[in-house]
Structure 1
Amino acid sequence: MVKKTISMTFLAVSLYSSLLVSSLLASSLLSSSACTAAEKSELRVNITTDLPSITVIDHGKSVVIMRNQNPDHTVNPDYAMTSRDCPPFCIQPMQLLPGVHTIGELEMLQFLKKKAEGDKSIEIIDSRTPDWYRKGTIPSAVNIPWTQIYRGSSTYEPLVVESLLTDTFNAKVQDGIWDFRGAKTLVLFCNGPWCGQSPTNIKELVSMGYPADKIYWYRGGMQSWSNLGLTTVQPPQ
Structure 2
Amino acid sequence: MTEYNISADQPVVEVLHHGNPVIIRREENPSATIRPEYAITARKCPPYCIQPMQLAPGVETLGELEVLDCLKRIRKGDSSLIVVDSRTPDWYAKGTIPGAVNVPYAQNMAGQATDLPGVKQTLTELFGAKEAGGAGDFSTARTLAIFCNGPWCGQTPNYIRTLLSLRYPANKLKWYRGGMQDWCSLGLTVV
Shorter-chain TM range is over 0.9
Counterparts of 1:78-93 in structure 2, within 5 Å, are 78-93=37-52
Question: SS at 2:121's partner residue?
Answer: helix
Q: Distance in 2 between matches of 1:151 and 1:76?
A: 27
Match of 1:142 in 2: 101
Question: SS at 2:31's partner residue?
Answer: coil
Larger-Rg structure: 1
Question: SS at 1:95's partner residue?
Answer: coil
Match of 1:75 in 2: 34
Following superposition, the deviation at residue 148 of structure 1 comes to 2.6
Match of 1:164 in 2: 122
Match of 2:21 in 1: 62
Q: Which has the higher helix share?
A: 1
In the alignment, structure 1 segments of 5+ residues that lack a partner are 1-39
Q: Distance in 2 between matches of 1:157 and 1:81?
A: 38
Counterparts of 1:25-174 in structure 2, within 5 Å, are 40=1, 43-152=2-111, 158-174=116-132
Check whether the contact 2:13–2:72 (CA below 8 A) recurs between aligned residues: yes
- Structure 1 counterpart of 2:49, which letter? C
- Structure 1 counterpart of 2:121, which letter? S
Q: Distance in 1 between matches of 2:135 and 2:162?
A: 16
- Structure 2 counterpart of 1:52, which letter? P
Deviations 1:95-117 (A, max 9, x none): 10111000100000000100011
1:191 pairs, out of 135, 149, 162, with 149
Question: SS at 2:30's partner residue?
Answer: coil
Question: SS at 1:173's partner residue?
Answer: strand
Question: SS at 1:123's partner residue?
Answer: strand
Check whether the contact 1:148–1:161 (CA below 8 A) recurs between aligned residues: no
Deviations 1:147-203 (A, max 9, x none): 13334269x981011011111111111210211011100000000000001111101
TM-score, with normalisation over the residues of structure 1? Answer: 0.78
Match of 1:178 in 2: 136
Match of 1:207 in 2: 165
Following superposition, the deviation at residue 223 of structure 1 comes to 0.3
Following superposition, the deviation at residue 86 of structure 1 comes to 0.7
Deviations 1:37-94 (A, max 9, x none): xxx2xx2200011100010111121100000111111111110111111110000000
Q: Distance in 1 between matches of 2:144 and 2:119?
A: 15
Q: Distance in 1 between matches of 2:143 and 2:130?
A: 15
Q: How many correspondences in the alignment?
A: 191
Output the aligned Cα RMSD.
Answer: 1.5
**Where does structure 1 differ by over 4 angstroms across 4 or more consecutive aligned residues?**
none
TM-score, with normalisation over the residues of structure 2? Answer: 0.96
Q: Distance in 2 between matches of 1:141 and 1:179?
A: 24
In the alignment, structure 2 segments of 5+ residues that lack a partner are none
Check whether the contact 1:189–1:219 (CA below 8 A) recurs between aligned residues: yes
Q: Distance in 2 between matches of 1:192 and 1:223?
A: 5
1:229 aligns with 2:187: yes
